[in-house]
Amino acid sequence: MTPGTPEVRVPRLVGLMAVDARETAEARGVLLAAPDRPDFHRTVVDYVVRQFPQPGAEVPRGAVVTVWFDLGDAEGGAGVREPRPPRPPSGGMRRELDCPGDPFEVLR
């Protein structure tokens, strides 16, 4: 660290889109790196899910803040969005009424 280099606080970048994270970092005097995105300079709408150092940390002006856009396989995510058994029991009218018999049944 160069003596006399002003310290800056790391901004909160988690939750921002890539383009907004780059603008915020530039305005606060830090640089961004994204190890999971080699094309980071062209990434626009992906959201930052993690950062290091944490927001509020004091770092030298021009320090690199690392951001990640992908949670990876072991860290969760949206999960499966299809219905899974057991399904809820059928209900409604079928459950309340008996099934009708033959409509042309002869009554005696």
Higher pLDDT, 59 or 37: 59
User: What is the C-alpha to C-alpha distance for residues 28 and 30, in angstroms, rounded to an integer?
Assistant: 6
User: What is the C-alpha to C-alpha distance for residues 104 and 106, in angstroms, rounded to an integer?
Assistant: 6
Dump pLDDT digits (tens) for 52-100: 999 999 999 999 999 998 755 544 555 555 666 666 666 655 555 556 6
DSSP alpha helix (H) spans, the chain: 18-28, 93-96
Say whether pLDDT at 10 is over 80.
yes
Q: Provide the terminal-to-terminal Cα distance of the chain, rounded to the nearest Å.
A: 103
Q: Indicate the average pLDDT of the chain.
A: 79
